[in-house]
Structure 1
Amino acid sequence: MSIQPTTGALSNVSLEQRAWNIRRKALLMGEVQGQGYIGQALGISDVLATSYFHALDYRPEDPEWEGRDRFLLSIGHYAIALYAALMEAGILPEEELETYGMDDSRLPMSGMASYTPGMEITGGSLGQGLGIAVGMALGLKRKLNPAFVYNLMSDGELGEGSTWEAVMSAVQWKLDNLICIVDFNNQQADGPTRDALAVGAEAPKWEAFGWHAQEVDGNDLGALVAAFDAARSLAEPKPRVIICNTTMCKGVDFLEAREITHFVRVEPEEWAMALDKLEEGRPA
């Protein structure tokens, strides 16, 4: 059964189709440069579809609208995925897809707020996004602005001390307008996340700090919709986190089947193959 979007760029296009469209746009951008963090982009597409076509309140024609929900990309190297979502949402023109990563493009390979409409922060040094989100959420509260702040971060950032300082600050300020999304794909530059630095029992760890925590299959749209709804409607004055267990390269089976690492190499002839494989799984 298809899931219909409820907010954002309203239409009767299902979330399944939105997620598929985001994956396709990301692949097309990767083909332009012959590279990109496509494994992460394919894996996070369901989360982005749920964010932009179910949860977030925004105006495509006015990305700076003061009443908008803010979506922060802490993981700047995921920019290819967010550009695809912003195009699907009508915030960026799809024609710019072919400029990805080129000189003078508004689509640099790592996300930069100064270049790209809809890109709220410049992601770079990992572990900074949640701290920025805390400050932004606190500022909105003090202005009596009811908007939410969503921060998408990586599992690798759970090993950064600055992340846990932000976690504690969010509780101190009772930031119930802050929703953190963790992409847990179990990969980072030094190898599998679970082999890197004392991760495990993620939801209980966040709960121990005072957050409302949920852990879901990040490629299950129904589970994502339920988790986002629960996070947004929670009555308790506390920040919320959704830990999304995602599969790298989701939707392109021959890439999924490889031994996955942080950077998935796609050979020149494989971009067209990946698009063909994705086409086989296009939602009805």
Structure 2
Amino acid sequence: MDDVDFDDLRLRARRMRATCIRMAHDGREGHLKSTLSCIDLLLALYGTWLRVSPDDPRHPDRDRFLLSKGHGVTALYAALAEYGFMPPSLLDTYAQPGGALPNHACRHALPLLEISSGSLGHGLGMATGMAYGMELDGRGGRVTVLMSDGECNEGSVWESAMFAAARRLDRVVAIIDNNNMQAVGRNDEISGGMPLDDKFRAFGWAVRTIDGHDLPGIVATLRGLPFEPGKPSAIVARTVGGSGVSFMEDQMMWHYRSPSAEDVERALAELGVAPLHRATP
């Protein structure tokens, strides 16, 4: 993977984390636990793998990326700004009334997005339907959906998983942000400890389990897709909620808590970079 500058990716990862923390403070919103856990996954996708260009983001044969865990949308906003899909100054409007960047993904507010999301458990169904329609239309492109592990409690996820396997949709990739944390508790306490990799495999998917913060490992895994011809692929990414900021890591309170000015200052000092956008007063 000599064509990938991992030092640059790691710098961008710190900057995206700083950006999300600043946005959460300015917008008086939370969800940093869920946002920071998926930064490295989004960075690897937009920085090295997805075939979609800011010069033609609606190309009919583009790769589609769907954020099913819509509460983590600041990570996606940061990635889109980082890679030139929208101006960084737009990030200052996050969670403002009537703005283009609401606190859950909305394609009517920001048409760059493939779907609106927030109510969990629907992204995989939309991804499989989208991929099936593209196949019927003879269109190219892959469909990747980023999901939370908590939303895998929803029966709609497994109905969609069965459909994708039955239709042999090997252009579908599900990435599960497996931080073992939901809004008010840990997955293994709320819904049992059955491994998600085994579960997807039982539903007919080809599966890899990876460290969701190891950028070289993530990139290598993406480059191995599809894992098996004729099977949809699932990547179970073991992550840490609040990753990258020591006092937020694996702390349940950062699902809903908005960071104070002191929290922001402490986090930015630890990350050692400024946010991508111009911070508001």
Instruction: Check conservation: 2:51, 2:62, Cα contact below 8 A.
Output: yes
The aligned counterpart of 1:228 is 222
TM-score with structure 2 setting the length: 0.91
Instruction: Check conservation: 1:3, 1:14, Cα contact below 8 A.
Output: no
The aligned counterpart of 1:211 is 205
Residues 1:262 and 1:187: Cα distance change in structure 2 (over 3 Å): farther
SS in 1 for 2:224: helix
Asked if residue 158 in structure 1 is aligned to residue 168 in structure 2, the reply is no
**Correspondence list, 1:16-27, <5 A:** 16-27=10-21
Instruction: Check conservation: 1:36, 1:80, Cα contact below 8 A.
Output: no
**Residue-pair matches, total:** 275
The aligned counterpart of 2:279 is none
Residues 1:235 and 1:164: Cα distance change in structure 2 (over 3 Å): closer
SS in 1 for 2:248: helix
Equivalent-residue separation in structure 2 for 1:2 and 1:249 (angstroms): 30
* Letter of the 2:209 counterpart: E
Equivalent-residue separation in structure 2 for 1:281 and 1:28 (angstroms): 9
SS in 2 for 1:26: helix
Instruction: Check conservation: 1:231, 1:241, Cα contact below 8 A.
Output: no
Instruction: Check conservation: 2:244, 2:271, Cα contact below 8 A.
Output: yes
Instruction: Check conservation: 1:74, 1:129, Cα contact below 8 A.
Output: yes
What CA deviation, in whole Å up to 9, does each residue of 1:138-186 have, x standing for no partner? 0111112120000011101111100000000000110010000000111
SS in 2 for 1:39: helix
Looking at both structures, which has the greater relative contact order when contacts are Cα pairs under 8 Å and sequence separation is at least 6? 2
The aligned counterpart of 2:260 is 267
Q: Percent identity?
A: 36
Instruction: Check conservation: 1:91, 1:117, Cα contact below 8 A.
Output: no
SS in 1 for 2:256: coil
What CA deviation, in whole Å up to 9, does each residue of 1:73-121 have, x standing for no partner? 1111111111011111111110111111001211001110111143111
Q: Select the residue among 235, 245, 260 that pairs with 1:242.
A: 235
Instruction: Check conservation: 1:176, 1:237, Cα contact below 8 A.
Output: yes
Equivalent-residue separation in structure 2 for 1:122 and 1:227 (angstroms): 27
Q: Select the residue among 119, 127, 138 that pairs with 2:113.
A: 119
- Structure 1 window deviating more from structure 2 (16-25 vs 87-96): it is 16-25
Instruction: Check conservation: 1:19, 1:48, Cα contact below 8 A.
Output: no
The aligned counterpart of 1:67 is 61
Residues 1:172 and 1:258: Cα distance change in structure 2 (over 3 Å): closer
Q: Select the residue among 37, 42, 45 that pairs with 1:48.
A: 42
* Cα shift at 1:235: 4.7
SS in 2 for 1:91: coil
Equivalent-residue separation in structure 2 for 1:81 and 1:272 (angstroms): 19
Equivalent-residue separation in structure 2 for 1:2 and 1:271 (angstroms): 35
* Letter of the 2:245 counterpart: V
The aligned counterpart of 1:147 is 141
TM-score with structure 1 setting the length: 0.90
Equivalent-residue separation in structure 1 for 2:67 and 2:45 (angstroms): 12
Instruction: Check conservation: 2:242, 2:254, Cα contact below 8 A.
Output: no
- Structure 1 window deviating more from structure 2 (170-179 vs 234-243): it is 234-243
* Letter of the 1:4 counterpart: V
The CA RMSD measured in Å over matched residues stands at 2.3
Equivalent-residue separation in structure 2 for 1:229 and 1:118 (angstroms): 25
* Cα shift at 1:221: 0.6
* Cα shift at 1:68: 1.2
Equivalent-residue separation in structure 1 for 2:238 and 2:179 (angstroms): 6
* Cα shift at 1:2: 9.1
Q: Select the residue among 232, 249, 258 that pairs with 1:256.
A: 249
Instruction: Check conservation: 1:79, 1:109, Cα contact below 8 A.
Output: yes
What CA deviation, in whole Å up to 9, does each residue of 1:226-251 have, x standing for no partner? 2111224x351110000111111211
5+ residue gaps, structure 2: 276-281
